[in-house]
Amino acid sequence: MQVKIIIFGQLTDITGTSVSLDNVTDTDNLVKTMNKLYPGLADKKYLVAVDKKIIAENSLLKENSTVALLPPFSGG
């Protein structure tokens, strides 16, 4: 199953602006895989949204789901 991940803010310094992953079934699985690919991501704070809805707990992914990783911004 292919999933597109779009990344925001300063997390893009670690991952670039988008990543495609195969064989991820749920969001916990996705975060683990991303942490392996990009170890710098592991201790960063961000929220996870699936198909434009923020999720609070592990969520199943569908074929062609788009997942967003969004860190908090504080600048003004």
Partner 1 sequence: MNTNNSYERYHRQILLKGFGEEGQQKLLQAKVLVIGAGGLGCPALQYLTAAGVGTIGIVDDDVVALSNLHRQVLYSVNDIGLSKADTAAKVLSALNPDISITTYNERLTTANALDIINAYDLIIDGTDNFASRYMINDACVLSGKPLVYGAISQYEGQVAVFNFKNDNNDPVNYRDLFPEPPKDGEVLNCAEAGVLGILPGIIGTMMANETIKLITGIGESLINQLLTYNALANQVYTLGLSSRKETRSLIPADEAAFKQINYDWLCASPSTSFEIDVERFTVLLQEDDTAVIDVREWNEKPVVDEFAFTQIPLSELQEKMTGIKENAVIFFCQSGKRSLQAAQLLFNTFGETKKVYSLQGGLLQWNNRHVKKSV
Using the rule CB under 8 A, is 47 a contact of partner 1? yes
Contact 67, 50 (CB under 8 A): yes
First to last CA, the chain: 39
Among 1, 4, 10, 64, binds partner 1 (CB under 8 A): 10
- Asked if 67 touches partner 1 (CB under 8 A), the answer is no
Using CB under 8 A as the binding rule, whether residue 54 contacts partner 1 is answered as yes
- Cα separation, 72 vs 11, in Å, equals 10
**Nearest distance, CB of residue 23 and partner 1, angstroms:** 25
- 25 CB-near residues (< 8 Å, 6+ apart): 1, 60, 61
**Interface residues toward partner 1, by CB under 8 A:** 6, 8-10, 13, 17, 43-45, 47, 49, 52-54, 56, 68, 70-76
